[in-house]
Structure 1
């Protein structure tokens, strides 16, 4: 029997019983068809995880008892804030999912000149909610007990201008320095990934004004989703917990 991990946003108390959220109950009861006596892992994004046992299942609800708290931390020592220009369709979903699996701590979707995605108002709010659900699902799958946040989308210039002590990086195929030659970041990394059409010359100049370091991944031009995941992996290998 598979031992699933389920995110529950509320307070979790050892010894207590409660009903899983509709999403959690649907996954446990209808998808996995778990039943009384089966065990699962719960986490609420505040650190650590909880072992629980199913007490009762119905067509619409699942009641569990929390048996034990486990102080497990799978977070990387490297904090990465990903500024990702919004890509079309499933590419953005894929980038968010895999970046969370690789240890990204914060994600800001960005609008840029060549973004190609037009979202605003209620449609944009729903898209952000969808992205946050993808983040949670990636945490459930990868064993992370802290849940990265998808921040409100911003214009690229507004995000680049934010005051921060993070090491600011912008990928560029003609950069002089590679990730292997970067100084060790003391307050995390702010990683900018451009859209499918790349950043414009004006945008590249603008990032230089805000002290972004142009960084080389290799001699080949990568797709936006490939660039993001390659850069995150390289940073985790150099400064984080991938060996």
Structure 2
């Protein structure tokens, strides 16, 4: 059963409008009495029955709440430096599929693309839309939040990333030779893991020093040379596997 997303908290009766209503009524051929699983922004999902279909709106009645089939054993947040072209789009989509709870795009010293405030806001909105669509396609109950474009400074001051007492922060660093990601993750008991991945060229020594001083642990992905977007997906996959969020 395809999951729908409602841009608000679920109530006994909801009214879906705009493009989502058109998709539901015209593409999915919603009919009176049809039952759909609907997820709200509060992280809850419910079975809901279609009670009215109009040209620009579909009304549904809440029947019963449903639980996520596979809740994450640890929450994972991805902090990703901006990549060239549409590579960030790709990382956003795959991060959703791999179960990341949130993605924080940041500008670092080696980032090539630069956005003014207006363009950065537009990009954030685009990435959130990509994330929402990916969540629909892979059946996630919880949407992945895409934060506004930030920087090393902003994440160092972000309580969600560096302020949590039950949070482990790691960052992929090509200059790290001693500590593998696998070794670090196998000691993690935290409820939240933050993974920080650089752009093409990785992090500068100064950035690595600042992250380390703030409590982040530098980790190596091994001897293979990976493209930036490949490194992000590979690292996130390893994190989810070692945390037990990928039962393979």
TM bracket, shorter-chain basis = 0.7 to 0.9
Match of residue 45 from structure 1: 41
Q: After TM superposition, list the pairs within 5 Å mapping 1:230-241 onto structure 2.
A: 230-241=234-245
Q: After TM superposition, list the pairs within 5 Å mapping 1:200-211 onto structure 2.
A: 200-211=204-215
Unaligned runs of at least 5 residues, structure 1:
none
- Are 1:125 and 2:129 counterparts? no
TM-score when normalising by structure 1: 0.87
Asked if 1 retains the 8 angstrom alpha-carbon contact of 2:49 and 2:60, the reply is yes
What's the offset of the Cα at 1:187? 4.0
- Specify whether residues 72 and 188 from structure 1 end up closer, same or farther in structure 2 by C-alpha distance, changes over 3 A only: closer
- Are 1:27 and 2:23 counterparts? yes
- Are 1:170 and 2:171 counterparts? yes
**Secondary structure of 1:20 counterpart:** strand
What's the offset of the Cα at 1:97? 1.5
User: Cα deviation per residue 1:148-205 (whole Å; 9 max; x = unaligned)?
Assistant: 3222221123313544242221112443122221121424212110012322232223
The match for 1:89 among 76, 85, 92 is: 85
Unaligned runs of at least 5 residues, structure 2:
none
- Specify whether residues 215 and 25 from structure 1 end up closer, same or farther in structure 2 by C-alpha distance, changes over 3 A only: same
Structure 1 outlier segments of 4+, above 6 Å? none
The match for 1:59 among 55, 58, 61 is: 55
Asked if 2 retains the 8 angstrom alpha-carbon contact of 1:100 and 1:135, the reply is yes
The match for 1:220 among 203, 206, 224 is: 224
**Secondary structure of 2:38 counterpart:** strand
Q: In 1, distance between residues paired with 2:149 and 2:168? A: 21
TM-score when normalising by structure 2: 0.86
- Are 1:112 and 2:70 counterparts? no
- How many equivalent pairs are there? 239
**Secondary structure of 1:109 counterpart:** strand
The match for 1:198 among 202, 209, 224 is: 202
Q: In 2, distance between residues paired with 1:54 and 1:187? A: 38
Moved more, 103-112 or 172-181: 172-181
Moved more, 156-165 or 125-134: 156-165
